[in-house]
Amino acid sequence: MIHKRTIPKIFNRAKELRHDPTPAEIKLWARLRAHRMADVHFRNQHAIGNYIVDFCAPRRKLVIELDGSHHLQQEEYDTERTEFLKSKGFKVLRFWNHDVMNNIESVLNVIWDTLHEKNAPQ
């Protein structure tokens, strides 16, 4: 099957990543999946172009990325990736794994507020 948003190699890698989530991804996915957040449909390990994002609400053009300590060494890559996603019309939220694990309610509040911004796509 050919996908418009990515190439088969990236699509297949996203599929593999869904089977090996981090603890923070598991915790946040439990709160986002099955329309649990404002009745918005999220996907996990969603391929967009040459990138795989942790969570995406395609119809709302919202990407959520969870960053671990390895992201401290790849700031340039993360910036490039965020700029690409923004160029495709996505808003990108980034959270540290530590925040998801220790303060999930604050993370969910930021996501909720973003979904309910005045100019957010419906």
pLDDT mean over 109-120: 86
Nearest to 99 by CA among 90, 91, 109, 113: 109
Specify the DSSP class assigned to residue 60: G
Model confidence, pTM: 0.85
For the stretch 82-113, pLDDT in tens is 999 999 999 999 999 999 999 999 999 999 99
DSSP H or E stretch at residue 15: helix 8-17
For the stretch 59-76, pLDDT in tens is 999 999 999 866 456 788
pLDDT of amino acid 75: 81
- Confirm whether 3 is domain-assigned: no
pLDDT confidence tier of residue 27, bands split at 50, 70 and 90: very high
Number of independent structural domains in the chain:
1
* Domain membership of residue 59 as a residue range: 8-115
Mean pLDDT, all residues of the chain? 87
Describe the strand order of the beta sheet including 43-48 as a list of residue ranges.
43-48, 51-57, 62-67, 91-96
- Measured from the Cβ of residue 64, the count of other Cβ atoms closer than 10 Å reads 24
Distance, in Å, from the CA atom of 31 to the CA atom of 35, rounded to the nearest integer, reads: 9
- CATH number of domain containing 17: 3.40.960.10
- Confirm whether 2 is domain-assigned: no
Distance, in Å, from the CA atom of 22 to the CA atom of 29, rounded to the nearest integer, reads: 10
Of 8-22, 40-54, 83-97, 104-118, give the lowest mean pLDDT range. Answer: 8-22
